[in-house]
């Protein structure tokens, strides 16, 4: 033991062997400046590496001759505020990731590629300007122009001044030497929001809105809790978010607003900007790294009160958090698919608890899990059942595609959709067509009876595998031959499906050669700003029909859209996923909300081979509650979430044989562990090891172990014990292991 000042440092290398806290001595020269959360340079092995200080201690176990000293403090201030350290520790424990990966969530984007702060020169009238102007003598016309500009607006960038007045740098210099102006070097922030925005005023709130607002505000003054705001599309939820944000600001608190994917919800961001101006920062992945870094610094430097952003904005370094809003809280994009595999709602809940803030989950179609919690009294439930403008929700008609086939129509458009499109084009209105092709999975279904082929044990659609021409269950591993006839009706019209947006575009052009089409999917929106351009082009009326994937279902508001068509509602329904009914219900409800937003009524046509499926039928009636009642029964019966938790341990490696052995070893070990742990043995629902549905990615083979457990608190803490031991035990350079609690996908 040696006395002194020791810093616990986490090395900035993603290696499981380095996943611990190393003690370093703090040299005297740093002792008065060192702070928790600082980035430091330290000797490690033969080299110098970066790391983060997460503890400062009086003592260390390291013998003196082995102890090394911090070489350098990398920044004048801590990159991570001290109060986030407990949250970082929680992230590590909860998601079983290396500490450094938890830390990376909190540090500014771009810091690891050494992004530079931007500086600029700004001119001000000097404090003695009034006196000096009397005695300054004769000034050139350019100098006078500069002074005039500064008299109108004090504090202008020199660059801008020179361009606007036509003066040269020498005029600036002589004004400085005469003591009339001063020039300061200041940080500038790249502005990611280049679109013009008009300021807006809040409306007069209706009763439903007032109820929601006063509940959220009273919870804020009490300092915590979670609200589920269930409001139909157009019920005025965004106005509730803005009003409660304004109230938070009035209490001297700050706000984080999460949106699923900023480029998909530009209108929401714009509305916050127009209400709160420069006090809003925007954070999302489509910004350049420099823009993100600058927005982060604006937040860190206390220049903003509201952060609007995608998933990772939940880590924004605000100091006085009072309110977190998660808009469209049912969306999958809130879950990270990379380590740490967190869900933004879970982080938000923990952060709100630590900082006494209120969490609001807003959705027209809440996730089953959230609605279940609200029913159980874990969340406060607030409902907004009516559209603001008393507009009725659009009429939704289900079109039975089996009958189209019987009528001899093999086209991807039903006759009703065809004639509705024709009418829309003739009356110069607009239409949106949804073709939800998602993921890699293809399923096999019968075109006569509509049945998709399912696993007997899991009630999950089987997935077609080209390799071996077979059908596989992604949950239990069951394999089946490709059937020659439908097991349900014996028809031989049985086929695997893989229909995409491009095909819809081609077919549409065959029917309406002069139609002006716009397509919005991953292929057409990869360029930065492409999404915004497509929305603007469609909104301007230069196009008749917008075809797209689920991107078109979200948040768009076009008054001239009177027709929405869903080409194949079954695509989502047949995904190998216990949430496929829920996803289908959400998608149809969301896309239906795009029709009839203006003065003309809207029509929604949903094409399906399974017109009687409850998710389609109830979505067409806008009946969330009945859908919830039906779906929660299915979940109870098959023990799916919220009645269980699903844990996936994904293992991948280049060597297939080795991987299979490794997976089986892990399965055996895990079974043994569970058997020896009475809590887990009792809480276990199911366990097995299977090849992952996508068997190889980037030449790495993939297997997974799927564990289902019950939802009691003890079982969950049992799981954390298991996960910790498992990640320790199965550390390997050759086999990578990823743990996912309630994964979005088992592909
Ligand atoms: P949601 O977020 O639930 O879809 P919005 O907040 O976007 O609903 O509201 C839908 C439309 O109604 C918007 O154009 C919004 O400006 C308007 N609106 C919301 N609340 C009111 C109100 N109390 N009075 C008038 N218009 C409102
Ligand atoms: Zn059939
Ligand atoms: Zn199965």
d(CA 588, CA 227): 25
Give the per-residue pLDDT at 198. Answer: 65
- H or E stretch covering 359: strand 358-363
Give the per-residue pLDDT at 193. Answer: 54
Looking up residue 238, the CATH number of its domain turns out to be 3.40.50.300
User: Is the model's pLDDT at 487 over the cut of 80?
Assistant: yes
Give the per-residue pLDDT at 468. Answer: 76
Range 149-171 average pLDDT: 83
Give the per-residue pLDDT at 264. Answer: 64
**340 vs 452 pLDDT, higher one:** 340
Cβ neighbours of 319 (radius 10 Å): 12
- Answer yes or no: do 506 and 649 share one domain: no
Range 611-625 average pLDDT: 94
User: Is the model's pLDDT at 4 over the cut of 80?
Assistant: no
Point out the ligand 1 atom lying closest to the alpha carbon of residue 233: 4
Decide whether any atom of ligand 1 lies within 6 Å of the 362 Cβ.
no
Q: Catalogue the E-assigned strands of 379-534.
A: 380-384, 395-400, 430-434, 444-446, 463-465, 470-472, 479-481, 494-496, 517-520
- Nearest ligand to residue 458 Cα: 3
- Answer yes or no: do 178 and 249 share one domain: no
Point out the ligand 1 atom lying closest to the alpha carbon of residue 364: 3
Range 477-490 average pLDDT: 87
Cis peptide before 340 (omega within 30 of 0): yes
Of 27-31, 126-130, 422-426, the poorest mean pLDDT is in: 126-130
- Answer yes or no: do 369 and 274 share one domain: yes
Which of 603, 636, 669 is the last residue before a domain boundary?
636
User: Is the model's pLDDT at 458 over the cut of 70?
Assistant: no
Pocket probe for ligand 1: among 210, 236, 556, 598, the residue whose CB has the most ligand atoms within 8 Å is 236
Residue 154 banded pLDDT, cuts 50, 70, 90: confident
Cβ neighbours of 127 (radius 10 Å): 10
Decide whether any atom of ligand 1 lies within 6 Å of the 388 Cβ.
yes
- Nearest ligand to residue 706 Cα: 3
How would you classify the pairing of strands 321-327 and 254-258? Answer: parallel
**How many domains in the chain?**
5
Measure CA 739 to chain center.
19
**How many angstroms does the Cα of residue 403 sit away from the middle of ligand 2?**
13
d(CA 126, CA 149): 14
Q: What is the DSSP letter of 606?
A: E
d(CA 6, CA 67): 10
- Answer yes or no: do 11 and 79 share one domain: yes
Which two tokens mark 532? 């915004």
What pLDDT digit, counting tens, does each position of 48-83 carry? 999 999 999 998 888 888 899 999 998 888 999 999
Q: Count of alpha carbons within 13 Å of 280, Cβ hemisphere only?
A: 21
Dihedral sign, Cα of residue 52, residue 58, residue 63, residue 64: positive
- Answer yes or no: do 371 and 228 share one domain: yes
User: Is the model's pLDDT at 446 over the cut of 60?
Assistant: yes
Of 240-254, 596-610, 634-648, 660-674, the poorest mean pLDDT is in: 596-610
| Residues forming a β-bridge with 479 | 472
Pocket probe for ligand 1: among 239, 257, 265, the residue whose CB has the most ligand atoms within 8 Å is 239
- Answer yes or no: do 273 and 290 share one domain: yes
Give the per-residue pLDDT at 498. Answer: 59
Which of 372, 388, 404 is the last residue before a domain boundary?
388
Give the per-residue pLDDT at 423. Answer: 96
User: Is the model's pLDDT at 438 over the cut of 50?
Assistant: no
Give the per-residue pLDDT at 553. Answer: 77
Q: Count of alpha carbons within 13 Å of 312, Cβ hemisphere only?
A: 20
d(CA 724, CA 334): 24
Decide whether any atom of ligand 1 lies within 6 Å of the 224 Cβ.
no
Which two tokens mark 219? 């919870």
Helix (H, G, I), strand (E, B), or coil: what is residue 555? coil
- Answer yes or no: do 692 and 596 share one domain: no
Decide whether any atom of ligand 1 lies within 6 Å of the 267 Cβ.
no
Give domain status of residue 409, yes or no. Answer: yes
**How many angstroms does the Cα of residue 704 sit away from the middle of ligand 3?**
14
CB 126 within 8 A of CB 177: no
DSSP string, 282-326: EE-TTS-HHHHHHHHHHHHTT--SEEEESGGGGG---SSEEEEEE
- Answer yes or no: do 662 and 602 share one domain: no
Decide whether any atom of ligand 1 lies within 6 Å of the 231 Cβ.
yes
Looking up residue 50, the CATH number of its domain turns out to be 3.40.1440.60
Residues 71, 76, 79, 80: what is their CA dihedral angle, to the nearest 10 degrees? 90
- Nearest ligand to residue 559 Cα: 1
Looking up residue 676, the CATH number of its domain turns out to be 3.30.70.600
Give domain status of residue 346, yes or no. Answer: yes
Residue nearest ligand 1's atom 24 by CA: 203
User: Is the model's pLDDT at 439 over the cut of 50?
Assistant: no
CA-to-CA separations, 415 to 401, 419, 514, 591, 607, in angstroms, rounded: 10, 6, 19, 21, 11
Domain that holds residue 623: 395-442+498-636
What pLDDT digit, counting tens, does each position of 274-313 carry? 999 889 998 876 777 788 888 898 999 999 999 999 999 9
d(CA 525, CA 144): 49
What pLDDT digit, counting tens, does each position of 88-100 carry? 999 999 999 999 9
Give the per-residue pLDDT at 165. Answer: 82
Residue nearest ligand 1's atom 8 by CA: 236
Residues 205, 209, 210, 212: what is their CA dihedral angle, to the nearest 10 degrees? -160
Which two tokens mark 534? 């497509």
d(CA 602, CA 86): 51
Measure CA 189 to chain center.
24
d(CA 390, CA 110): 47
What pLDDT digit, counting tens, does each position of 532-585 carry? 788 889 989 999 999 988 787 776 778 889 999 999 888 777 777 789 899 999
Decide whether any atom of ligand 1 lies within 6 Å of the 363 Cβ.
no
Point out the ligand 1 atom lying closest to the alpha carbon of residue 209: 23
d(CA 125, CA 130): 9
d(CA 462, CA 453): 6
Range 204-214 average pLDDT: 96
Which two tokens mark 112? 């690891």
High-pLDDT (> 90) share of the chain, %: 53
d(CA 342, CA 258): 15
d(CA 520, CA 503): 13
Give domain status of residue 175, yes or no. Answer: yes
Give domain status of residue 480, yes or no. Answer: no
- Answer yes or no: do 253 and 360 share one domain: yes
Give the per-residue pLDDT at 263. Answer: 64
Decide whether any atom of ligand 1 lies within 6 Å of the 463 Cβ.
no
Pocket probe for ligand 1: among 238, 241, 259, 592, the residue whose CB has the most ligand atoms within 8 Å is 238
Nearest Cα neighbor of 53 from 89, 21, 96, 101 is 21
Ion ligand 2: residues, Cβ under 5 Å: 446, 448-449, 451, 486, 488-489, 491
What pLDDT digit, counting tens, does each position of 670-701 carry? 999 999 999 999 999 999 999 987 777 777 88
Give domain status of residue 231, yes or no. Answer: yes
**How many angstroms does the Cα of residue 285 sit away from the middle of ligand 1?**
28
User: Is the model's pLDDT at 1 over the cut of 50?
Assistant: no
Give the per-residue pLDDT at 2. Answer: 45
d(CA 205, CA 303): 29
- Answer yes or no: do 630 and 677 share one domain: no
Decide whether any atom of ligand 1 lies within 6 Å of the 239 Cβ.
yes
d(CA 46, CA 481): 58
Decide whether any atom of ligand 1 lies within 6 Å of the 237 Cβ.
yes
Q: What is the DSSP letter of 443?
A: B
d(CA 80, CA 296): 12
Give the per-residue pLDDT at 440. Answer: 37
Burial level of 195, CB count in 10 A (0-12/13-18/19+)?
Answer: exposed
Give the per-residue pLDDT at 188. Answer: 67
How would you classify the pairing of strands 118-125 and 156-157? Answer: antiparallel
Range 726-737 average pLDDT: 90
- Answer yes or no: do 700 and 589 share one domain: no
d(CA 595, CA 436): 17
d(CA 712, CA 683): 8
User: Is the model's pLDDT at 591 over the cut of 90?
Assistant: no
- Nearest ligand to residue 233 Cα: 1
**How many angstroms does the Cα of residue 413 sit away from the middle of ligand 2?**
21
Decide whether any atom of ligand 1 lies within 6 Å of the 206 Cβ.
yes
User: Is the model's pLDDT at 598 over the cut of 80?
Assistant: no
pLDDT, the chain, mean: 88
| Residues forming a β-bridge with 281 | 307
Give domain status of residue 533, yes or no. Answer: yes
Give domain status of residue 402, yes or no. Answer: yes
Residue nearest ligand 1's atom 5 by CA: 236
Decide whether any atom of ligand 1 lies within 6 Å of the 391 Cβ.
no
How would you classify the pairing of strands 645-653 and 700-709? Answer: antiparallel
Which of 157, 188, 219 is the last residue before a domain boundary?
188
Give domain status of residue 464, yes or no. Answer: no
Nearest Cα neighbor of 91 from 356, 317, 346 is 346
- Answer yes or no: do 590 and 689 share one domain: no
* CA-based end-to-end distance of the chain: 51
User: Is the model's pLDDT at 3 over the cut of 60?
Assistant: no
């Amino acid at each position: 033991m040696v006395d002194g000042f020791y810093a616990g440092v986490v090395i900035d290398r993603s290696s499981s062997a380095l996943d611990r806290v190393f003690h370093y001595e703090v040299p005297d020269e740093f002792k008065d400046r060192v702070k928790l959360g600082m980035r430091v340079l330290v000797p490690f092995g033969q080299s110098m590496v970066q790391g983060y200080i997460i503890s400062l201690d009086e003592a260390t176990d390291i013998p003196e001759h082995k102890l090394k000293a911090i070489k350098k403090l990398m920044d004048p201030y801590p990159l991570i505020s001290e109060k986030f350290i407990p949250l970082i520790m929680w992230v590590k424990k909860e998601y079983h990731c290396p500490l450094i990966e938890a830390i990376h969530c909190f540090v500014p984007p771009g810091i690891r590629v050494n992004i530079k702060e931007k500086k600029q020169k700004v001119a001000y009238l000097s404090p003695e300007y009034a006196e000096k102007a009397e005695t300054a003598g004769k000034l050139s016309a350019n100098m006078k122009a500069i002074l005039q500009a500064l008299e109108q607006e004090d504090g202008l960038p020199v660059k801008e001044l020179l361009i606007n007045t036509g003066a040269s740098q020498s005029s600036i210099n002589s004004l400085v030497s005469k003591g009339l102006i001063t020039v300061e070097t200041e940080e500038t922030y790249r502005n990611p929001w280049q679109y013009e925005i008009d300021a807006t005023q809040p409306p007069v709130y209706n009763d439903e809105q007032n109820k929601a607002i006063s509940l959220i505000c009273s919870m804020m003054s009490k300092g915590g809790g979670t609200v589920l705001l269930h409001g139909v599309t157009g019920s005025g939820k965004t106005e509730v978010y803005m009003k409660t944000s304004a109230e938070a600001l009035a209490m001297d608190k700050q706000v984080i607003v999460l949106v699923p994917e900023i480029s998909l919800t530009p209108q929401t961001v714009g509305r916050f900007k127009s209400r709160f101006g420069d006090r809003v920062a925007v954070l999302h992945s489509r910004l350049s790294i420099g823009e993100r870094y600058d927005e982060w610094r604006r937040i860190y430097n206390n220049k903003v009160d509201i952060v609007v952003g995608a998933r990772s904005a939940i880590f924004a370094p605000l100091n006085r958090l009072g309110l977190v809003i998660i808009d469209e809280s049912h969306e999958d994009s809130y879950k990270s698919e990379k380590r740490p595999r967190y869900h933004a709602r879970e982080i938000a809940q923990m952060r709100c608890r630590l900082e006494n803030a209120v969490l609001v989950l807003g959705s027209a179609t809440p996730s089953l899990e959230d609605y279940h919690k609200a029913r159980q009294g874990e969340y406060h439930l607030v409902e907004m059942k009516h559209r603001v403008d008393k507009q009725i929700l659009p009429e939704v008609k289900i079109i039975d595609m089996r009958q189209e086939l019987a009528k001899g129509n093999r086209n991807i458009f039903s006759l009703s959709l065809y004639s509705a499109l024709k009418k829309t084009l003739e009356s110069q209105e607009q239409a949106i067509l949804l073709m939800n092709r998602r993921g890699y999975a293809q399923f096999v279904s019968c075109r006569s009876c509509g049945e998709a082929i399912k696993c007997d044990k899991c009630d999950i659609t089987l997935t077609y595998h080209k390799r071996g021409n077979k059908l596989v269950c992604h949950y239990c591993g069951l394999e089946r031959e490709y059937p020659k006839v439908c097991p349900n009706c014996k028809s031989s019209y049985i086929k695997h499906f893989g229909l995409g947006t491009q095909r819809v575009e081609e077919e549409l052009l065959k029917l309406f050669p002069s139609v002006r089409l716009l397509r919005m999917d991953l292929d057409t929106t990869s360029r930065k700003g492409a999404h915004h351009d497509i929305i603007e082009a469609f909104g301007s009326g230069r196009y008749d029909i917008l075809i797209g994937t689920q991107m078109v279902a979200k948040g768009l508001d076009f008054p001239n859209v009177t027709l929405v068509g869903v080409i194949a509602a079954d695509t989502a329904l047949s995904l190998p996923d216990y949430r496929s009914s829920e996803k289908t219900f959400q998608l149809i409800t969301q896309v239906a909300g795009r029709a009839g937003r203006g003065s003309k009524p809207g029509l929604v046509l949903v094409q399906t081979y399974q017109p009687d499926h409850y998710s389609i039928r109830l979505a067409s009636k806008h009946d969330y509650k009945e859908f919830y009642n039906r779906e929660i029964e299915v979940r109870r019966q098959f023990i799916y979430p919220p009645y269980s938790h699903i844990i996936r341990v994904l293992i991948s490696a280049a060597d297939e044989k080795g991987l299979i052995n490794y997976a089986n070893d892990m399965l055996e070990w895990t079974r043994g562990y569970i058997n020896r742990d009475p809590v887990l043995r009792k809480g276990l629902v199911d366990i097995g090891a299977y090849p992952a549905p996508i068997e190889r990615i980037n030449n790495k083979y993939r297997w997974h172990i799927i564990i289902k457990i019950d939802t009691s608190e003890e079982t969950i803490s049992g799981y954390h014990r298991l996960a910790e031991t498992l990640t320790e035990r199965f550390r390997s350079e050759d086999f990578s292991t990823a743990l996912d609690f309630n994964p979005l996908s088992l592909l």
